[in-house]
Amino acid sequence: MKIVVLERNSVGTDVSMDAIGKLGEMTVCPNTTAADVEEKVKDAEIIVANKVPLNENTLKDAANVKLICEFATGYDNVDLEYCKSRGIKVANIVNYSTDAVAQHTFALCFYVLEKLRHYDEYVKSGAYAAQDRFSNFDCPFTELAGKTWGIVGMGNIGRKVGKIAEAFGCKVIFYSASGNSTCTEYERVSFDTLLKESDFLSLHCPLSDKTRNLINLDALKKMKKNAILVNVARGPVVNDEDLYTALTEGYIAGAGLDVTSTEPMKDSNPLSRIMDSNKLIITPHLAWASDEARNRCVSETCKNIEAFLKGEDRNIVNK
């Protein structure tokens, strides 16, 4: 089998590809742009990708492709119907980054909630050493205990975040954008109720027609003024321009983002103008990227390919 890995660097160069290389004749591309896909996959039988578009335009001359493997859980970069019409199976990986993303969700929350940038700079600037009292708390913060933590997307990550929030003493509620959630551990509420009751709102849903721009200005205006929004899902779930307005005009207290509408974030994105880390922290889509998760990403992809070679379906999303 001819295996083409289009975005090898997306899992980090410190993670070995040797296990995948043993399954066929492997070509590894450090990175691939949309314009390069067609040429690079023309002889491929198995494609391993992450974010580049895989659709009729990029796959039309790739006559031998039988399997597409995602280095991710999300697969919105793949035209599933087109692949199905061609008999191309598409496999993702699941639950490989749950612990990492849940951990980062709270890292983002606490950074904004407890004004950690402010207090770190206060100490390192010498201001703390120069004062005559033992403490300083000029930027007040609250506890999670007794608050309401709202969740959009109650899959593996959402459930993990719910458990952690409960451990901190939060009431957990959730909204199902698809309407198909089977979760019974937590109270399911309407979207308006979620917005109005959540002190903390974290997003863990896939990007779809139902979730694109879900968090827009209308939604943000319904949230509590002291609320903190955390997006570790997909950038376009939140309207960046509307979030900028909400943060600068005080509709919500703060936000922690691991994703934005485009990646990398463009200079033209108004969120790049918010320098106040008490209001906003943005990380470069790394919530999933612990050492352990990146290695699991590759090993799970390897298992998907092994299953395919045995004639078995594993994590196929377009049956």
Q: How many residues does the chain have?
A: 319
Phi/psi of residue 155, nearest 5 degrees:
-90, -150
Tell me the one-letter amino acid at 177: A
Residues 282, 230 contacting (CB under 8 angstroms) = no
Q: Which of 8, 159, 234, 296 is catalytic?
A: 234
Q: Is 263 in the active site?
A: yes
CA distance 252 to 215: 12
Q: Is 285 in the active site?
A: yes
Q: What distance lies between CA 87 and its chain's CA centroid?
A: 29
CA distance 31 to 312: 29
Q: Which of 8, 159, 204, 285 is catalytic?
A: 285
Q: Which of 56, 121, 249, 263 is catalytic?
A: 263
Q: Is 8 in the active site?
A: no
Question: Catalytic residues, which ones?
Answer: 234, 263, 285
